[in-house]
Structure 1
Amino acid sequence: MAHPSYCGLDFGTSNSTIGLMSGVQAHLVPVEGNDTTIPSTLFFDFEENSAHFGRDAISTYMEGGEGRMMRALKSVLGTSTMEESTMIGKERKPFKAVLGLFISHLKRKAEHQSQQNIDKVLMGRPVHFIDHDEKADRVAQDTLEEIARDCGFSHVEFEYEPVAAARDFAQSVTKEELALIIDIGGGTSDFTILRVSPDHALGQQDILANTGVHVGGTDFDRWLGLARVMPLLGYQSPMLKEGRLMPVGYYHDLATWQKINFLYDHKTRNDLRNLRREARQPQLIDRLIELLDLREGHRLALAIENGKIALSEKPMTNINLTFIEAGLMAEMTQTDIMMALDDGVARVRQTIEAALQQADVAGEQITAVCLTGGSTKVPFVRQSLLGLLPEAEVVQRDAFGSVGTGLVLEAHHRFA
């Protein structure tokens, strides 16, 4: 069966999908083996002078490939960094070109399955790329549209990600619902309140509220890392001079995916060697220097992320840091997650409360809540948010594919 020349593309901070219509059914395209989701990750292999994508990028990096890993690039949209370039091997590449490589990779996967050129795309976007800055938010969307056009899409439109997830959810309802969509992605948390019924198609008049906040899974990783791992590398450790602590900027950058590579310059390591001489616990700073000398910042970030995921299923886990120092481990518990994420989850709860106020409904009136996004699986996050909705039935859609499926459905409505 021939596929249409349009697609739905969910370019996420942590994971991405691209999908097509097949008859009346939306389906996500296998983008890495049989997987329909792909980590939004690139690895530039300096030895082979090639780019790797997704799980292949991560495994090539973890195997010790000589090169540069880049992840969470969506978070750069709307910031001044987006207009800059970065060194990749001996070549300086604009960040726009790096994002374009990844989006072009997804486009090629869809075109391979479609067996034709795809020139129309409906892309997902958060309710707010940037909190409290309408100008930066417009710039972020305009930049993403420019990148998509440079990749060969001649017609580019956008849909809020939680609204796309709502369109996927609407396919499954068997009775009228007042529903809340909770979409906690890698970079943002977004919410839609809607009235939905099996008797009519979801229209704009059914959308009662859209809200969002720039808090997501990568923030959870950062806060957890700062609380439980970075102290082992000297974070907030005392200096010889009374009252002084080790400068925190290095650790915040190390805990932020898109900033890790900036720590590998000679100036940073020279500065750290000078600070080591002023530290009361220089052995901790030695660990940080060793990590940067090995260029293993992304390995550390992956270990922290995997620790968070492990704590979704068990009360305690150990993060193996022996690639920094023999025998070095960091213990994490559910209590650690609660303490590290408490302030961020409170901001997410406040944003849901704003959505309820915008829709003029009480939490008790919500009859169904649809969860999507990987961080909705974290027990503390899930329980904290569901506490606002005591009467709601919980519906778990595809955590990583619901937005993408909804984008395909709406692309069909707009472009067919």
Structure 2
Amino acid sequence: MLTDTTEQPQPVADAPGTAVFERHESNVRSYCRSFPVVFERAQGHHLWDEAGNRYTDLLCGAGGLNYGHNPPEAVARVMDYLAAGGPVHTLDLHTTAKADFLRRLTQVILEPRGLGDFVVQFPGPAGTLAVEAALKLARKVTGRTEVIAFTGGFHGASLGALAATESPLLRGGAGVPLRDVTVLPYGDLPTALAALEAALAPGADTPPPAAILLETVQGEGGLHVAPGPWLTRVRELADAVGALVIVDDIQAGCGRTGTFFSFEDVPGFLPDLVCLSKSLSGMGLPMAALLIRREYDQWSPGEHNGTFRGHNLAFVAGGAVLDHWADPAFTAHVTELAAAIRTGLVALAADLPPGTARVVGKGAMSGLAFSSADLATAVQRALFDAGVVAETCGGGEVLKFLPPLTTSLADWKEILDTIGAVAKATAARTQQ
């Protein structure tokens, strides 16, 4: 656990170094608009800007830093690998780094969780590429084109994944029609289940799908959680019509919900394809993977390729942090932290004026759904002034908290106290 006991300086509202980005970087940048400082250093759950001001990072790379910034074990492993002259870029050639990662992933993660017969595809450096590969493979295996996705889903900004993503902003940027995806209501029993059953019934307007694509917790859609019975029924219906089940675990995976995979606690539910990225590399290096049930690994060699299919530094760092999951003390801490986050936020919400906010999400992927997007944004800005970085999602009304899984319970308590004080003061100010 990484703890900084130094006194926290007060962050500043702006920094002179931002002018270079305004002048030279594309207008498409987004997160930096909410947090207009220039960050220079990072460790654990803290960031420091170029003026030396310290911030608590609850954005954490939108789920890309589940082990915090610069985890020492990963940094040391990467530095040793580079010092020894290990190859960094190798396309999909065999390397010792990849071999070590695959062995560790299989032994520590896949086999204990019933995925020991899954194979791993490295489609490229971004999560959206894992989704693209999953969609292509499902269509190849089934010979079908249609995919079922769900309201609130976010799967990436490349065209195939974007067709299954609901965001009007992102879809509007496509510039072409987005086809072959039917979007159904997400996880609201019994309405959503009835819609899914109708779409898959014989004679339905929608042709039998190649795949059903879903997030068990919608990271960008507002931290909606899929009910276990709904997921079980999705599996049953997919089997009945010969469709593959794809779980996009890019943000919810790698321990974010309390277990390595977000679906582990759902009896009888096992996907056919699992998309991973973000924290899989351990320290924020670009990396994505598609886990494939062996019987569906029907690619021809080179049929889906890319220059950056293998990132050896990501293999090295990712293998280092997988060691955590072989440590009972770490897995116990993840469970305790997930519970503490939930109970703490529930108590915080109860201490706010009635109707101000409610707790959403699951485990260490939780947040506060405020009564309006304006209030959520006001709390976000006030938190940044207090030295806390957190993002909004779900149309702007949900403030999402993604502390590193290595955060101590004592540090989380301190963070929670800050969130509570800021939320209470902001709510009181806006209601005057």
Question: TM-score of the superposition, structure 1-length normalised?
Answer: 0.27
Q: Which has the higher helix share?
A: 1
Question: TM-score of the superposition, structure 2-length normalised?
Answer: 0.26
Q: Which has the higher strand share?
A: 1
